[in-house]
Chain A
Amino acid sequence: MVIVLGIGLYMMIGSPNLVKKVIGLNMFQSAVFLFFIATAYVTDGHVPVVSGHGGADIRYASPLPQVIVLTAIVVGVAVTAVALALIIRIYNEYGTLDEASVQEVQRHDR
């Protein structure tokens, strides 16, 4: 999880291309989701779906972190969608996706 988080963070900072920054952001968020799923692990745990009438002495993996991750994935998808829409608009306005060129144009416009 730490490796993925580190790679994501480095991509966001180090990569000049705006789309790669968004990919880095996604990797950062995926690392957080991995962290949550890892906490839900129970040794010899079953999928948390109760079959039959329940009540049997079965260990289930904790379902709440899984629900949290599902919600967070949806939030992440929405954020990525907005980010990509903004990138399309930046491309139409500036004609480039390179962060340094965008900053150069902004400095020139000022």
Chain B
Amino acid sequence: MTAEWTLPLLIVVPLLGAAVALAAGRITDNGGYWVAAAVLTAEAVIAGRLIAAVYSGERIVYQVGGAALSRPEGLAIGIELLADTVSVFLLPLIVGVAGLLLPCAVRAEHRTTAFYSVYLLLTGGLMGVVLTHDIFNLFVFLEITGLATYALVASGRSKVSAVAALKYLMIGTVGASCYLIGVGYLYMVTGTLNMTDLAQVLAGDGFIQHALYTDPLVVTGFAFMATGLMVKAAIFPLHTWQPDAYETAPDDVSAYIAALVSTAGAYALARLMFTVFTPEFFAATPVAAEIVIGLAAISIVAGSLLAAMQHRVKRMLAYSSVAQFGMIVAAFGIAAHPAGGSTALTGGIIHLTGHGVLKAGLFLAASVIAARHGARTIQEYAGMGERFPIGAAGVALLGLALAGMPPSIGFVGKWYIAVGAVSSGLWPVAAVIVLSTVLTLLYIARLLEQVYVTSADIDTADSSGYPVQLAAVLGLAVLAVVLGFAGNVLYDLLAPFVSEVYAP
């Protein structure tokens, strides 16, 4: 039996669950929490079924509204959902992080019923971004994700989180509107919104019998869409919303959004660059790939330097995200560039997942340390190695994995990206990527020096052990190392998508 039914369910179940959570909150005090737990467990089961189906070789397409819709002139009418090897690659990350972070609240004041409802909305929106095959549907799901994120960031009771959420809202909506303008341009030229059909029409298979890659409308469309998605993925100079939003959000919310929201934006950018505008577009207009690579490379350097200047740990981790997403988008740019480097595509996607795991762990660890010791700045982390050895070990493992120390998932991603960069012959970018390890160590080593080398004069631990959160942090750290040994497996999982992208 095919697994087609899983696709719409994966999106609809959390959305309905959000409404049910609100209702359950009226009945019992903690109803929202239990509904969210039940929904995420169901999601995990359904996602498991889908992953099993796709990795046994199927490529599942689901027509929303029934399979009976005809295709006049060969173009799809309705909205399609697609599950292929790369969209399903991100599913375990989304379901895993959402499920893991549900019981991990260190402070619970912001955990109202509305919080659980918005939490499930965000999960549903992320599922939609990953599974949709229609560029306008992608806009709608990106906005759902964005709105849920604005609400979650603002759920902290502090004054600054409302301002940070408003700033994120305004920058994010301008970005989404830019993306929408791009969709408009593409629709004007091709007459379709479906991603596979767009690729066909752009290649010259549709109404217009020649390739459209150098058409100014198409190039402008790409420029607007890429700009909008780079706002979502927080690439310099469009990253200004990220430090405030990550820092002022409640700690478990920071972990969730740092792991997943920009990941969805970067995934959407990859879909755009490789499924819709195939590498042929970048062969015809290499300057597009060069601009993407250039901005991303600046992002790596600027993000790392800004991270090294920060005093507060959560703000440092936010700038670190800017740098890491710079590397991921640079990887996509290198893979798209006509000079070659298809390994960079695999590396980018692997690093996308790895970064999600690592940042979730780092923000969780920061939340536990802040709760137990009240330590929020790097100075206050002094001597954490003696005061809180398990937590410090978690931070060290995750931090070193982020810097790309083998064997860890961070190393696997960076390795493939670096191989792709060097094999493409784009020397400035390859140099930046190789140097990025040093740049990451700039801020990670600074933190680790405080944790292990500097000694503490006072010991201000509170007695509670936060076992759930600590177990989650250590679990993520161990997962990062274990996945580091699975580099070959991950490469093979993504190989069908990569060969499809580069097929002549």
Contacts and interface: CB of A to CB of B under 8 A. Distances in A.
A89 interface: yes
Interface size class of B (residues with CB under 8 A): 20 to 34
Contacts of A22: 170
A93 B159 contact: yes
B162 interface: yes
Contact of A79 (B143, B162, B181): B143
B180 A86 contact: no
B180 A79 contact: no
Interface in B138-158: 139-140, 143, 146-147, 150-151, 154
B169 A86 contact: yes
A90 B154 CA distance: 10
B184 interface: yes
B177 interface: yes
A32 B184 CA distance: 9
A102 B164 CA distance: 12
Interface of A: 9, 12, 18, 21-22, 25, 28-29, 32, 35-36, 39, 64-65, 68, 71-72, 75, 78-79, 82-83, 86-87, 89-90, 93-94, 102, 105-106, 109
Given A21-B170, A75-B140, A89 B177 contact: no
Contact of A90 (B136, B163, B180): B163
A104 B169 CA distance: 21
A75 B181 CA distance: 15
Contact of B140 (A21, A29, A36, A71): A71
A105 B162 CA distance: 14
B166 interface: yes
Contact of A102 (B140, B163, B174): B163
B147 A78 contact: yes
Nearest to A39: B188
A94 B159 contact: yes
A22 B173 CA distance: 11
17 contacts: A12-B174, A22-B170, A32-B177, A32-B180, A36-B180, A68-B136, A68-B187, A72-B180, A75-B140, A75-B176, A82-B169, A86-B154, A86-B165, A90-B159, A93-B159, A105-B159, A106-B159
B57 to A, nearest CB: 34
A92 to B, nearest CB: 9
B187 A28 contact: no
Given A21-B170, A68-B136, A79-B169, A90 B150 contact: no
A28 B174 contact: yes
Name which of A12, A22, A75, A105 has the most chain B CB atoms within 10 A of its CB: A75
Contacts of B184: 32, 35-36, 39, 65, 68
Nearest to A72: B180
A83 B166 contact: yes
Given A78-B147, A82-B151, A83-B170, A35 B136 contact: no
A2 to B, nearest CB: 11
B166 A87 contact: yes
A86 B166 contact: yes
B35 to A, nearest CB: 22
A93 B162 contact: yes
B160 A106 contact: yes
A79 B146 CA distance: 9
Given A32-B180, A65-B187, A72-B180, A25 B174 contact: yes
A2 B163 CA distance: 29
B174 A90 contact: no
Nearest to A102: B163
Contacts of B162: 86, 89-90, 93
Contact of A106 (B136, B147, B151, B163): B163
Contacts of A75: 139-140, 143, 176
A86 to B, nearest CB: 5
Interface in B169-204: 169-170, 173-174, 176-177, 180-181, 183-184, 187-188, 193
B177 A28 contact: yes
A71 B176 CA distance: 13
A59 to B, nearest CB: 16
A18 B166 contact: yes
B124 to A, nearest CB: 15
A9 to B, nearest CB: 8
A52 B159 CA distance: 59
Given A35-B181, A79-B143, A71 B136 contact: yes
A9 B162 CA distance: 22
Contacts of B193: 64
A101 B278 CA distance: 48
Given A9-B174, A39-B184, A86-B169, 4 more contacts: A18-B166, A29-B177, A65-B184, A90-B162
B142 to A, nearest CB: 10
Contacts of B139: 72, 75
B326 to A, nearest CB: 25
A86 B170 CA distance: 11
A82 B151 CA distance: 8
Contact of B154 (A32, A36, A39, A89): A89
A26 to B, nearest CB: 10
A50 B362 CA distance: 58
A72 B142 CA distance: 12
What 4 A-B pairs are tightest by C-beta distance, nearest first? A93-B159, A86-B166, A89-B162, A75-B143
B163 A79 contact: no
A87 B150 CA distance: 13
